[in-house]
Amino acid sequence: MSKQMLCLPGDGIGPEIMAEALKALDAAKLRFGLDIEISHGLVGGAAIDQYGVPLSDETLALARNADAILFGSVGGPKWDDQPMANRPEKGLLQLRAELDLFANLRPAILFPQLAEASSLKPELVAGLDILIVRELTGGIYFGEPRGVRTLGNGEREGYNTYVYRESEIRRIAKVAFEAARKRGGRLCSVDKSNVLEVTGLWREVVIAESAGYNDVELSHMYVDNAAMQLVRAPKQFDVMVTGNMFGDILSDCAAMLTGSIGMLPSASLNEKNQGMYEPVHGSAPDIAGENKANPLAQILSLAMLLRYSLADGSSLADGSSLAEVAAADAIEKAVSDVLDKGYRTWDIASEGCQLVGTAAMGDAVVDCLLNA
């Protein structure tokens, strides 16, 4: 039976980079004989323009039925005056919540070809390979009560609730321990347990969970220190696990260490390995429509999608040899090959490179994929 993939390009540069990922998917289908049926939907600002809401019931239904979702990016100045409950970002947050995509995997890997593009010295980042495991459906992003209220004296007060249940902490810890076990065997849990009770519980539950993972070396770090350590000596980390908001911040920081946030894919998975795959970067409205955006993070997100959600029976990188896994490997290799050939979009440009636009970068990947 064919696999179902839903394509949600979103706003800003989303549609442009999605077009390149779909080219790569066509090439991969051809080469590996993949049987994937693609449906398309609107999300974010594009959906607000069409339906008045950032995620329509129809699109949500398509998402529920899909084995995997390839997501572009949402948001832009056009929708900045939307009320909080109807902002483009809500479409993304709703998809995460409705599909229970609690496990967000954000690898920060330095392509050796791009060592010079990092804002850190090459020796600090050479060989960098960190996986941030971010809890994605709880914490302060979703905690209730939330809002802005008016106090007795007429002053307004904004408030959010930072809350985690033991079961939520346990399941994300499990994902992180499993990932660490398959990688370098080290897990750093990031919290603020010197100040916040909720993250004190986080630390307790992670420690309890570690009993089943004697082969994984567990450490703990306060989030402020973790931010500092990421820019001081990032290679000390293997896998990091943390809550929703800390993970949002630390993953941007880790991404930049690799030279360009335009290179990094991410996966958001639920218990059934159904997943949504998106670049870590945003919709970059300032360069939208200019054929300038780097499509490689979107293309690498497609590779992750094939590997984690479409390869039957495979979970978190078990190295199975199915066609989808072979296709994922080939796409990742094609990306590395185009970098070897010197192709660069402006965000990763360096002296002497072959500067190309979005479409030409996509074409170069397809070329490498078909003529490997």
- Does residue number 89 form part of the binding site for ligand IPM (CB under 6 A)? yes
Active site residue 192: yes
Q: Which does 89 bind (CB under 5 to 8 A by kind): ligand IPM, Mg ion, none?
A: ligand IPM
The one catalytic residue in 141, 164, 213, 277 is 141
- Does residue number 347 form part of the binding site for Mg ion (CB under 5 A)? no
Active site residue 141: yes
Tokens representing 267 are 């996966």
Interface stretch with ligand IPM, choices 17-25, 87-95, 228-236, 331-339 (CB under 6 A):
87-95
Nearer to ligand IPM, 255 or 306 (CB): 255
Active site residue 67: no
- Does residue number 135 form part of the binding site for Mg ion (CB under 5 A)? no
Rounded to a whole number of angstroms, the minimum distance from the CB of residue 368 to ligand IPM is 28
Active site residue 363: no
Nearer to ligand IPM, 53 or 93 (CB): 93
- Does residue number 46 form part of the binding site for ligand IPM (CB under 6 A)? no
SS (H, E, C) the chain: CCEEEEEEEECCCHHHHHHHHHHHHHHHHHHHCCCEEEEECCCCHHHHHHHCCCCCHHHHHHHHHCCEEEEEECCCHHHCCCCHHHCHHHHHHHHHHHCCCCEEEEEEECCHHHHHHCCCCHHHHCCCEEEEEEECCCHHHCCCCCEEEECCCCCEEEECCCCCCHHHHHHHHHHHHHHHHHCCCEEEEEECCCCCHHHHHHHHHHHHHHHHCCCCEEEEEEHHHHHHHHHHCHHHCCEEEECHHHHHHHHHHHHHHCCCHHHCEEEEECCCCCEEEEECCCCCHHHCCCCCCCCHHHHHHHHHHHHHHHCCCCCCCCCCCCHHHHHHHHHHHHHHHHHHCCEECHHHCCCCCEECCHHHHHHHHHHHHHCC
The one catalytic residue in 11, 67, 192, 238 is 192
Rounded to a whole number of angstroms, the minimum distance from the CB of residue 282 to Mg ion is 7
Residue pair 102/172 in contact by the 8 Å Cβ criterion: yes
Exactly one of 248, 278, 324, 337 binds Mg ion (CB under 5 A); that residue is 248
Interface stretch with ligand IPM, choices 5-13, 29-37, 89-97, 195-203 (CB under 6 A):
89-97
Rounded to a whole number of angstroms, the minimum distance from the CB of residue 13 to Mg ion is 16
The one catalytic residue in 129, 252, 363, 367 is 252
Rounded to a whole number of angstroms, the minimum distance from the CB of residue 144 to Mg ion is 22
Rounded to a whole number of angstroms, the minimum distance from the CB of residue 330 to ligand IPM is 27
Q: Which does 198 bind (CB under 5 to 8 A by kind): ligand IPM, Mg ion, none?
A: none
Active site residue 49: no
Q: How many residues bind Mg ion (CB under 5 A)?
A: 1
* Sequence letter at residue 158: G
The residues carrying an active-site annotation are: 141, 192, 224, 248, 252
Interface with ligand IPM (CB under 6 A): 89, 92-93, 248
